[in-house]
Amino acid sequence: MTGAGGPVLSEDAIAALVDAARDGRLPEDKPTPQRRRRMRAVDFTRPTKFTAEQERRLGRTLEAFCRTASTRLSAELRVPLEFELLTSSQLTWANAHSQVPSSSTAAIFNVEPIGTKMLLSTESSLLLGAIELLLGGSIDGGVKDRRMTDIDQALGRHFFERLLAQLTLIWTDVAGLELQLETVDQHLETAQMVSVSEPTLSMMLEARLGGISATLALLIPWSAIAPVADRFGSREDSNGPRSEDEASSVRQAVGTVEMMVRAEVASVMMPIESVLALKEGDLLRLNSPAAAGITLYADQVPVHTGRPGRSGSRRAVQVTNNIAKGKGPR
């Protein structure tokens, strides 16, 4: 049986419930499922001090470093060594520092002539593998982790110097900076150069040496490049005008691109109701003298002025002046 408010129990069903209640066998109510509240984590500590152009430019310098360092160090170690830029992100110094693998060895280097500091770290597997090869050994069977001796530390310093020498070549050309190694430390937790909240660009690289894959991290605090930040934010062509060959190459590259060219007599601003009220025979006064001719537009850019005319049965325009260069009739 059912009623207006829902199902109605029969007399037998009511009696069964009474008996069940007497024996303590009433069915338990099922809990009503609760809708889980969707929550999204928001990281308010992620800084945005570096502009997008600065981050891209620094990324390109690291990509150039990967190419040159791979060639130079492969020849020195006599084993193929490849570097590849993996990620680039802006973090606080504390967060960037915490993401560096714990088994890494850190090199703190000075940035001259501005007198600031940055950090470059590499996992010990890469450093020990390079040391083994510099000593004339082999890494075919892999590299076992060990405590570095004084000789290891001297050779490890040499390896970092070779890395920084390749990065210096790139940064000297881009921003006039020279990198000088200061200290090499296996205890990464002691490598604190700036405040924990300092905006830092963390650039992670992968190094592949033989069968070894290791992570390198370049940590660039904002304060380290602030005096020359504009050099990393400017475009590559801002150092001077293009040569004639470069300008010719650009013209050839875009010369075959088609675009809309239109001729405009003049224009006037009107309320919509006035436009809708126009009818045949009305006179519309334009904000331009009759002697001004027409203007040729390439897309939205005015490029020439001219006189209207015809060519056979088609409308035509005779160009009379180049707006950009101020040339006369032709």
What are the chain's domains?
52-238 (3.40.1550.10), 260-273+285-330 (2.30.330)
Check residue 305 and give its pLDDT. 85
User: Residue 117's CB: how many other CB atoms inside 10 A?
Assistant: 17
Long-range contacts of 315-322, Cβ-Cβ distance < 8 Å, separation of 24 or more? 317/263, 320/293
Q: What is the pLDDT of residue 237?
A: 44
Query: Which residues, in sequence order, are CB contacts of 26 under 8 Å at separation 6+?
Result: 17, 20
pLDDT at 155: 92
pTM of structure? 0.59
- Encode pLDDT of 210-225 as tens digits: 889 999 999 999 999 9
pLDDT attached to residue 159: 94
What is the DSSP-derived secondary structure letter of residue 60?
H
pLDDT of residue 2: 46
The answer to whether 202 touches 85, Cβ cutoff 8 Å, is: no
- Cα-based distances in Å from 5 to 1, 2, 316: 11, 8, 82
**Rounded-to-10 torsion of CA 217, 54, 58, 232:** -130
Blockwise average pLDDT, block size 10, the chain, 330 residues: 56 74 60 53 66 92 94 92 94 91 90 93 92 89 84 92 94 92 81 85 93 93 91 60 65 72 82 88 81 78 84 85 60
- Residue 48: per-residue pLDDT: 81
Residues 6+ apart with CB under 8 A from 165: none
SS3 at position 16:
helix
